[in-house]
Amino acid sequence: MIQLQNIRKSYGSHEVLKGIDLTVNKGDVVVILGPSGSGKTTLLRCVNFLERPSDGQVTISGFTVDCKQPGKQNVLKLRRKTAMVFQHYNLFKHKTALENVMEGLVVAQKLPKEEAKQKSLDVLEKVGLSDKIHHYPSQLSGGQQQRVGIARALALSPEVILFDEPTSALDPELVGEVLAVIKKIAREGVTMIVVTHEMGFAREVANHIVFMDGGVIVEEGPPDEIFSNPKEERTKQFVRRITPEWSYVI
Amino acid sequence: MTIDIPFIITCFFEIVTALPLTLVITVIPLIIGFGIGVVTALMRIYKVRFLHRIADFYVSFLRGTPVVLHVLIIYFALPLLIAKLSDQFGWGIDTASIPILVFVLTAFSLTAGAYMSEIIRSGILSVNQGQVEAAYAVGMSTRQALWRIVLPQAIGGILPNLCNLFIGFLHTSTFAFTVSQMELLGKANVVASVNLKFLEAFIAAALIYWGMTIIAERITAFLEKRVTAYNRGGIA
Amino acid sequence: MGKAFDPALIFEFLPKLLAYLPVTLFILVAALFFGLWLALLIALPRLYKVPVLSQLAAIYVSFIRGTPVLIQLFLVFYGLPAFLQLFHLDVSRANPLFFVIATYSLSSAAFFSETIRAAVNSVDRGQIEAAYAAGLTGRQAFVRIVLPQAGMIAFPNFANSVIGFLKDTSLAFSIGVMDMMGRGQTLISATAHALEVYIGLAIIYYLVVIVLEKGFVRAERRLQRHERKWASA
C-alpha cells in the first residue's frame, strides 16, 4: 500500500502542491488527470523523490520517509520499492535494450548476472521485443523505446510503477502499442500510478481516477463516477472539454 | 639556399630514438591529469564546500599561465619544498638525486589536470538530466549513477576534445627541453649543434611530430566511431 | 640552484617585468594582424574549392597543426634567412623580434583559417540564397552577409586562440627576444632568484589573461546583441 500524506512542494514562493493526501491499494491502477500546470507530474515525481517534497510523508508498504529530513539512505530504499516510466523514455543511451533492463537488477538489486538476464529476457518478451534485445535505443522507434522503458520498470518487481505521461512524446500511430502493453500488465495486478492525457485509456483501465487542479486534488473516485457524474464544477468543465472523444485524429 | 636533404633523413633516424621519452612525457601526465580532472570536475559540479573554490582557482590559474612557466616553477620549487619537508621530518632525501624527469612529469600532470577538468566538466554537464533520473528510478545510488551512466556517456562525448588534448600535450612536451630533457626537441637540438646543421635537424623533428599528429587523428576518428556506436542509429 | 626562496622579491621583480609587457603585447598584436589576413588567404581557396591551391592550403594547415610551435619558431629562425637569401635578402642579422612575429603570424594563420572555414560553412545556406534573391553579387553576398555572421560564430574560438597565442609568446625568449620572459632570464642571471622571477611572470600572464577573457566576454555580448533581442522579444 502506498500512502501520501500532506505532500507539499514549493519552488521559491510558488506552491505547486498544496498538501496532497492519497492512498493507493495493492493492485490499484490510479490515473491522475488534470490540466497542464495542475501539479500532477510533480506529485508523481515526489513519490520517488525525483522532486523532493517540501513537507509531508511518503509511505510505501510500511516504510515511511519524512520529507523534511529524508536522508540519502532512506530515499534510496524508497526508490528501490518503486520504478518509473518516463515521458521521454530516458533509456540509457550507451546500453542495449537488454542491458537497460538488466542494469537495475544487477546494480541496485545485486542479482547474479545470469538470473538478471533471464528475468530481463522474460519481461522483454512480455512487451513483445524479444527480437530487439541487442539494439541500442537510437536504433529503436519511440514506441519500442517506451516498451523497453516499461520492461525496465517491470523487471524490478516494484511495489508500484509510476508512469509519467508515457505516450505523450510518441507519434500518434505508435501510441496504441504502448497503451496495449500497459493495459496488459495492469490486468496482471501490477500496482500503478499513471499521469496521462489518454482519456479512453483512463476510463478503460483505471479503477481509481484522481482529478487535480491548482495543486490540490479536486475530486477522486471510480472512473464511471468521475466521467459520467462529476460533482465538482472544475471537474465537470474538464470532463466536458475532453470527452467523449479525445484523440490524435487530425 | 642549401638544404642537405640526405642529412634530414640521417637526422630523422637519430632523433626518432627520443620518441619513447616524448611519449612518456605526453601520456603519463594525461593519465594522472585525467584522475585530477575527474576529481576536480566533480568538486566543481557538486560545489563541494570550500574545495570547489580551490578547484576553480587551480583550473583557472593553470589554464591562464604559459605551460613553460609551470615546468620552470615546478623544476625550481619542488626540490625546495621536498628538501624542507625532508629536513622537518628527517626523511633524509637528497633532492639532487631525484631525476629531473619527475619534476617534468609533475608539472605536466598538474597542467593536464586543469585542462582535463574543464573538458570532463563540460562532458558531464552535457549528459541529459533524464539519464540520471532514470538511474535513480531503477534504484541506483548517486555514486552508481555517476560511474555507470554519467561518466561512460560523458567520455563518449568528449573523445574529440581528449584527442585534441593529446595532440596539444604531444606538442607541449617540447617544453621539457627547457630543463634539458632529451626528448625529441632536445635530441634535435643536440644533433643540430653537433653537426651545425640546424635547419635540417628541426625539419626532421617537425616531420616526426607531424606524423605522430596525423596518426593520433586517425586513431581518434576510429575510436570515435566505436565508442559512440550506440548513437549512430540504423540496425546493428 | 639559486638562493633561498624570498617571496618579497616577487613584488620587487614585478615592476621590472611589467616594463616589458608592451613588447609581449606588441608581438601578439602584430602576429594577430598579419595572421588574420594570411588566414583569409588560406581559407578562401578551401572554401571555394580552388584546385591545387586548396590542397596546398590543406597541407599547410595540417603541418602547422601537426608541429609544436617551438619547432616552428626554430624552423623560421634558421630557415627564413636561408630562404630569403635566394632573393638576395640578408635577414640573418635582423632583430629576433622579426622572426617571432613571422612565426606566430604563420602559425596563427593556420588556426584562424580553420576557424574561418568552419564558421563560414556554418552560416545558414538560406542567408546566401536570400542575398542572391535580393540581387547581391557573389562577392557582395560574401562580404556583406556571410562574413559578418561568420565572424560572430567564430568569435569565441578566435578569443580562445588569442589567449593561447599570448601564452605561446612566452617561448620567444628561446631565440633571444627581450620580452617579459627574456627580461626574466636577465633578472635570473643577475640575481639567481629564478623561482621568484617565474612566479612573478606567472602572476602577470594570469592577470593579462583574465583581463583579456573579461574583455572578450563583453565584446561577445555586444556582437550578439541583436540575437539576444530576438530571444527576449
CATH 1.10.30.50, applies to C21-179: no
Residue of B nearest to C5 (CA): B80
Quick one: cell of A183? 493495459
CB contact under 8 A, B128 and A90: yes
Span C203-221, pLDDT tens digits:
999 999 999 999 999 988 8
Structure confidence at residue C133 (pLDDT): 81
Burial grade of B225 (CB within 10 A; 0-12, 13-18, 19 or more): exposed
CB contact under 8 A, C78 and B199: yes
Structure confidence at residue C134 (pLDDT): 80
For B5-231, give the CATH class.
mainly alpha
CB contact under 8 A, B230 and A134: no
Considering chain C, what percentage of its residues have pLDDT values greater than 90? 58
Residue of B nearest to C202 (CA): B65
Q: Does B137 touch chain A (CB under 8 A)?
A: yes
Span B149-186, pLDDT tens digits:
999 899 888 888 888 899 999 999 999 988 988 899 99
Please state the rounded mean pLDDT for residues A170-189. Answer: 91
Q: Please, what is the average pLDDT of chain B?
A: 90
Structure confidence at residue C138 (pLDDT): 82
CB contact under 8 A, B185 and C82: no
Q: Please, what is the average pLDDT of chain A?
A: 90
Span C151-200, pLDDT tens digits:
888 898 999 999 999 999 999 998 989 999 999 999 999 998 999 999 99
Domain ranges in chain B?
A: 5-231
Residue B90 has pLDDT above 90, yes or no: no
Confidence band of A249 (pLDDT split at 50, 70, 90): very low
Structure confidence at residue C231 (pLDDT): 42
Confidence band of C114 (pLDDT split at 50, 70, 90): very high
C-beta of residue B137 within 8 angstroms of C-beta of residue B97 = no
CB contact under 8 A, C70 and B174: yes
Please state the rounded mean pLDDT for residues B81-108. Answer: 88
- pTM (whole model) above 0.95: no
- Chains touching A (at least 3 CB pairs under 8 A) are B
Span B110-157, pLDDT tens digits:
999 999 999 999 999 999 899 999 999 999 999 999 999 999 899 888
Residue A6 has pLDDT above 50, yes or no: yes
Confidence band of A129 (pLDDT split at 50, 70, 90): very high
Residue B235 has pLDDT above 50, yes or no: no
Rg (chain C; Cα; Å): 22
Tell me, what DSSP letter sits at residue B52?
Answer: H
Q: Which residues of C touch B177 (CB under 8 A)?
A: 70
Residue A47 has pLDDT above 70, yes or no: yes
Q: Which residues of A touch B138 (CB under 8 A)?
A: 83, 103-104, 107-108, 152-153, 156
Considering chain A, what percentage of its residues have pLDDT values greater than 90? 72
Residue A49 has pLDDT above 80, yes or no: yes
Structure confidence at residue B221 (pLDDT): 85
- Mind giving me the DSSP string for A132-197? GTT--GGGS-HHHHHHHHHHHHHHT--SEEEEESTTTTS-HHHHHHHHHHHHHHHHTT--EEEE-S
Structure confidence at residue C57 (pLDDT): 94
Structure confidence at residue C34 (pLDDT): 96
- Chains touching B (at least 3 CB pairs under 8 A) are A, C
Residue of C nearest to B164 (CA): C65
CB contact under 8 A, B172 and C63: no
Span A76-127, pLDDT tens digits:
999 999 999 999 999 998 899 999 999 999 999 999 999 999 999 999 999 9
Q: Please, what is the average pLDDT of chain C?
A: 88
CB contact under 8 A, A84 and B134: yes
Q: Which residues of B touch C86 (CB under 8 A)?
A: 1
Which positions in chain C have a beta carbon within 8 angstroms of at least one beta carbon in chain B? 1-2, 5, 62-63, 65-72, 74-75, 78-79, 82-83, 85-86, 163, 167-168, 170-171, 174, 194-195, 198-199, 201-202, 205-206, 209-210, 213
Residue C92 has pLDDT above 80, yes or no: no
- Mind giving me the DSSP string for chain C? --S---HHHHHHHHHHHHTTHHHHHHHHHHHHHHHHHHHHHHHHHHHTT-TTHHHHHHHHHHHHHHS-HHHHHHHHHHHHHHHHHTTT---TTS-HHHHHHHHHHHHHHHHHHHHHHHHHHHS-HHHHHHHHHTT--HHHIIIIIIHHHHHHHHHHHHHHHHHHHHHHGGGGGGGT--SHHHHHHHHHHHH--HHHHHHHHHHHHHHHHHHHHHHHHHHHHHHTHHHHHHHH-
